Structure 1
Amino acid sequence: MMLRGITLLWALVSLTQQAPSQDKCVCEFENSQNIFPREKLSTVEEGASKCNSDITPQQTLDLEILLLGLKRRLPQLEGDVSILEKEDDGDLYGVVSLQVVENELLEIRQLLDRLNSTSRRYQRLTVDATKQLEDLKEEMEEMEMFDTLQVVKGQQDNQRLKRDLDQCRHDLQPSIHPTRRPERDCPHGDFKNISGPRVYTAGEYPGSYIYGAWGQDPKPEVGKEDWYWVVMLTSGNKFSNYVRRYSSLSSLVIGKSVPGNTLIHTANPTTNTIQGPNAVLYGEALYYNCYNQDAVCRFNLTAKTVINLKLPPGTRYNSKSNFCHLDECYHFTDMDLMTDESGVWVVYTTTQDHGNIVLSKMTDGEELRLTQTWHTSVYKQGVTNTFMICGVLYATRYVDKTIEEIFYSFDTMTGVERFDIGVFITKMTPNIYSLNYSPVDQMLHVYSNAKILSYKVIFS
C-alpha cells in the first residue's frame, strides 16, 4: 500500500515537470463605452476663449461714446443754424456763421460714418458670436453624455440649491429703511457745474512736455500758502524725477520758477521716481505711481525721503489699465492720485474687479496705508479722468475735441452711483491728461497737451 502511494506521488511530480510554464497572463478588455473626445473639448475651450477676447465691455463703450458725441453735436448744430438765420439780411448770410455750420456738418458726417462703420462691424461680430455659441452649446451637450456618473448634473443641482438658499436667507432679512438721508459735511454745498477756463497758459516750456500735472498743496507749510507745483513728464512723456515749485500763480504763468526743482533722484527713470501724469501734492509730500511698480510713492520734499505703499494683489500697472477714449489711451495712467477736503485718494483697478474702478482712501502721514476701499461698476478704460470733491468720486469721458463730460459719480458715504451727471467741460486742447480738484480755491487744475488750465467749480 505504501509502495503504491509513493508510485502515485512520483507520477504527479513527473507530470508537473513536463507541463509548459506560464510566464504571462493575458486578458482581453473590451470597453463598451465611447472614448471621451479630448480633441473636441480642446476645440470648445479655444472657441470659448475666442468669444471672450472678441466681445469686450470696451466695444459697448465705443458705441456709447459715439452716440453721446452725436447727441451733443445735433443741438449745437441747431443753435448754430439759428444764429445763421438771424444774420440773414436777404442777400447774404453771415460768412463766419456759415463756415461754423459747414464745419459742424462735416464733423457730424464723419461721426455718422464712424458710427455706421462701428455698428456694421459689431453686427457682424454679433452674428458670428451667436453662431459660435450655438455650436459650443451643442458640443457641450454632446460631451455631457460621457458624464455617466452625472457629476456635472450634480454640480448644477447643487448650484441651484445654493442660489435658492441664498435667496431664502435674503428674503428672511428685514429691510431697514433710514429715517433720514445722511448729511454730507461739504462746506461749499452740492456740486453743480464747471465754469469756463480761468487760467490758460503754455507755462515755462511752451509745447515741450505733453504730459504732466499741476496744482496747489491743500495742506501747505506756513509761508507756502500761495505756492504752486508742476510735474512734467520729461522722459518720453512717461517718466519724471523732480517736482517744480513756483512762489505764486503769476510766476507760474510768466515761467519764473522760484525756488525751482526738487529732485527725487538724479536718474530718470529709476526706482521710486514718477511714472505717469497723475501726481498730487499734499502736506509738503508728492504722491504718485512709483516707477515700474504696482505701488504709490510718497516723496517728502523737506526730508527728501520716499516711502511706498504696495496696492492690493492683482493691481494693474505699467500701462495695462489706462484712462482711454475711442481714439487714444493715455500712457501710464493706471493709477490716479487725487485730493479733496479730507485728504489723499487713489483710483486703480485689479484683475479681480475685471477692469472696473477701485477707489481707496490713504493716510497722509509718514505711515502710508489704505484706510478704506470701495469697488465701483464703472469700467476704467471707458473713463478719461477722475477727481474727488467732498468724498464723492467724479469721472469724465471724451465727447469730442472741444468737450469733456463729467458723466459719473460715486458717493463714498452712501455707496450710490450715478451715470447721469451731465456736466460739460469746454476744452482748449483735445486731451486732458491730468485733472485734480483743489479744496484751497475750489478749482479744477488741468494739464492738457502741454497747456496749464484751471476751471472754477460751481456749488449750490
Structure 2
Amino acid sequence: MKLFVIVLLWALFAITHQTTTQDNCVCEFISSEKSFPHEKLKTVQDSASNCNNIITPQKAFVLKSVLLGLDRRLPQLEEDVAVLEKEDDGELYGVLSLHVIENELSEIQQLIDKLNSTASEHKRLSDDTAQKLEDVQEEMQELETFDAMQVVKKQQVNQRLKRDLDRCKNGGLHPIPQPTEPTEETCPHGQLLNVTGPRVFTAGEYPGSYKYGAWGRDPKPEAGKESWYWLVMMTSSNIYSNYVRFYSTLSALIVGVSVPGNIQIHASNPTTNTIQGPNVVLYGGALYYNCYNKDAVCRFNITTKTITSLELPKGTRYNSKANFCHLEECYLYTDLDLATDESGVWVVYTTTQDFGNLILSKVEEGEVLTLGQTWRTSFPKRGVTNTFMACGILYATRFVNTTVEEIFYSFDTRTGKENFNVGILIHKMSPNILSLNYSPVDQMLYAYCDSKIVSYQVLFQKGSDSYL
C-alpha cells in the first residue's frame, strides 16, 4: 500500500513539472497601419523652431532704422555745409566745422554700407525662409495622413468655433478695450525705434581724469542758453562733486573751452546738499541730483544759487545700497537716477518694501519740490546698468559685453505695460556707461563712459504702432 501511494505521488509530481516547463503562449500583433514617423515630426518641429529664431522683430527693424538714419542725416549734412559756406572764418571755426562734416560723411557712408548689406541679407533670408516654409508645409500634410482618427481636424474645428465665440462675446456686451496710444502732444516723435552712433565721442577737457560723471543739454533752457552744454564730473573719490561746468557750444566742449566755466554749489566737497553719484540732469536752469548722504533729490538753481530738496519715501535705498549692476561690477552710488524727457524730471530708485524692484516717480516743479505720481515695476534695479526716459516711457539697459549695451526693458507710464524684449543695441566706445540721459531738444542720448563723453542719435518712427 505504501509503495502504491509513493508511485502515485511520483506520477503527479512528474505531470506538474511537465506543465510548468511548457512554453508560454505568445500572440503576435500585426497592424495594417504604417508606423508613425516620430523622427520626421521632430525634424519638422526643429525646422519651425529655427524659422522662429531667425525671423525676429529686431531684424525687421534694422532696415527701417537705417533708412530713418539716412533720412535724418542727409538734411543735417546739407544744412551744416551751407552754414560752413556762409560763416567760414578760415580759422578755428572752419576747422571744427570741417571736422564735424567729415564725421557726418563717415557716418553716412557707414549707413549706406549697412543699408546695402542689410538689403542683401534680407533677400537671402526671405528666400531661404520661404523655401523652408514650403518644405515644412509639405511634410506636415504628409504627416496628417497618419491621423486616422482625424484628431487634428477636430482640433482645428474647435479652434475656429472658439475664435468665433470670442468674437461674438467681444462684439456684444464686452468690447475689447483699445490700448492707450501716445498723443502728438505727449510724444511728437513717435515710437522709439533705434539708437545710432556714436554721434559725438571725445575725451573732453580732462582726458582720463574722472571716471564717473554726466553731461548733456537743458531740455527747457533759459533765454540765451539754448546752445549751452553742461558737464558734471565726480571729482572726489569718483563719488562726489560740488559744481557744474558749462560750455557755450558743442565745439567749445570738444576742444575744452569752458565759458562761462564752473558754477559752484558749495566751497566744500562733499558737504550738505552737494552732489552724490553720477546720475545728474539739468532742467529749466536747475541741476537735479542725489543729495549728499540723503535719500533725497536736490535741486540747485543755477541763477539764484539756491537749493531745494525733496525727501523720497521711507525705506528708499541710498548710500550705494541699491546700485545699477551687471555680473562683473556694480556702479557705485547710483541708487538714485534722475532723468528728463518731454514732460519734465523723473527719479528712478528702489525701496526695501518693494524688494529692490525699479520704482519711477515724477518730480513736480514749483517753489517747493513735490513727488508726483509713482509707478512700481516688476524688474529688480540691480539687474540694470542704466535707465532713461523718453515720451513718458522708462527704458532700462543691461551690459552685454565691453562693446555692446542693450536697451532690453521698457515700462509705459500711460498703460502700465512692461516689455522685457525691446532689443535695441548701443555700440559702446568704453566698457561702462556710467550715466545715460535723453534730451528731447535734439532727440539725443548723452552718455558718460569711463571719463569719455559720448552721444547717440535716437531714432523714432512717427505714427507707427507701439510694440511695448
TM-score tier (shorter): 0.5 to 0.7
Q: Distance in 2 between matches of 1:370 and 1:360?
A: 7
Q: Distance in 1 between matches of 2:285 and 2:366?
A: 10
Q: Distance in 2 between matches of 1:223 and 1:260?
A: 16
Q: Which amino acid aligns with 1:178?
A: P
The within-5 A match list for 1:46-445 is: 177-179=176-178, 181-184=180-183, 185-445=186-446
Q: Distance in 2 between matches of 1:194 and 1:239?
A: 30
1:175 deviation in Å? 7.5
1:366 deviation in Å? 2.3
8 A contact 2:179–2:415 mirrored in 1 = no
- Residue 262 of structure 1 aligns to a residue whose secondary structure is strand
Q: Distance in 1 between matches of 2:369 and 2:421?
A: 35
Distance 1:326 1:224, change over 3 A: same
- Residue 250 of structure 1 aligns to a residue whose secondary structure is helix
1:196 deviation in Å? 1.6
- Residue 252 of structure 1 aligns to a residue whose secondary structure is helix
Q: Distance in 2 between matches of 1:423 and 1:235?
A: 34
Q: Which amino acid aligns with 1:417?
A: E
Unaligned runs of 5+ in 2: 1-53, 55-172, 462-468
1:364 deviation in Å? 2.5
1:372 deviation in Å? 0.4
Q: Which amino acid aligns with 1:403?
A: V
CA deviation profile, 1:410-437 (whole Å, cap 9, x unmatched):
0000000000000000000000000000
Distance 1:255 1:179, change over 3 A: closer
- Residue 445 of structure 1 aligns to a residue whose secondary structure is strand
1:183 deviation in Å? 3.4
Q: Which amino acid aligns with 2:425?
A: F
1:176 deviation in Å? 7.6
Q: Distance in 1 between matches of 2:267 and 2:297?
A: 20
Q: Which amino acid aligns with 2:217?
A: Q
Q: Distance in 1 between matches of 2:194 and 2:244?
A: 31
Q: Percent identity?
A: 68
- Residue 325 of structure 2 aligns to a residue whose secondary structure is coil
Q: Which amino acid aligns with 2:177?
A: P
Distance 1:328 1:175, change over 3 A: farther
Distance 1:422 1:311, change over 3 A: same
1:370 deviation in Å? 0.9
1:182 deviation in Å? 3.3
> Number of matched residues?
288
In structure 1, the residue matched to 2:104 is none
1:181 deviation in Å? 3.8
Q: What is the TM-score normalised by the length of structure 1?
A: 0.62
- Residue 316 of structure 2 aligns to a residue whose secondary structure is coil
- Residue 316 of structure 1 aligns to a residue whose secondary structure is coil
8 A contact 2:290–2:296 mirrored in 1 = yes
Q: Distance in 1 between matches of 2:174 and 2:329?
A: 45
1:246 deviation in Å? 0.5
Q: Distance in 1 between matches of 2:272 and 2:176?
A: 51
- Residue 454 of structure 1 aligns to a residue whose secondary structure is strand
Q: What is the TM-score normalised by the length of structure 2?
A: 0.60
Q: CA RMSD in A?
A: 1.4
8 A contact 2:324–2:334 mirrored in 1 = yes
8 A contact 1:282–1:364 mirrored in 2 = no
Q: Distance in 2 between matches of 1:304 and 1:381?
A: 34
Unaligned runs of 5+ in 1: 1-70, 72-173
8 A contact 1:358–1:373 mirrored in 2 = yes
Q: Distance in 2 between matches of 1:339 and 1:196?
A: 21
Q: Distance in 1 between matches of 2:357 and 2:403?
A: 27
Distance 1:202 1:373, change over 3 A: same
Q: Distance in 1 between matches of 2:337 and 2:178?
A: 36
1:365 deviation in Å? 2.8
In structure 2, the residue matched to 1:168 is none
Q: Which amino acid aligns with 1:251?
A: A
Residue 451 of structure 1 pairs with residue 445 of structure 2: no
Q: Distance in 2 between matches of 1:382 and 1:176?
A: 38
1:179 deviation in Å? 4.2
1:189 deviation in Å? 1.1
Distance 1:387 1:180, change over 3 A: closer
Q: Distance in 2 between matches of 1:309 and 1:180?
A: 34
In structure 2, the residue matched to 1:101 is none
Distance 1:176 1:297, change over 3 A: farther
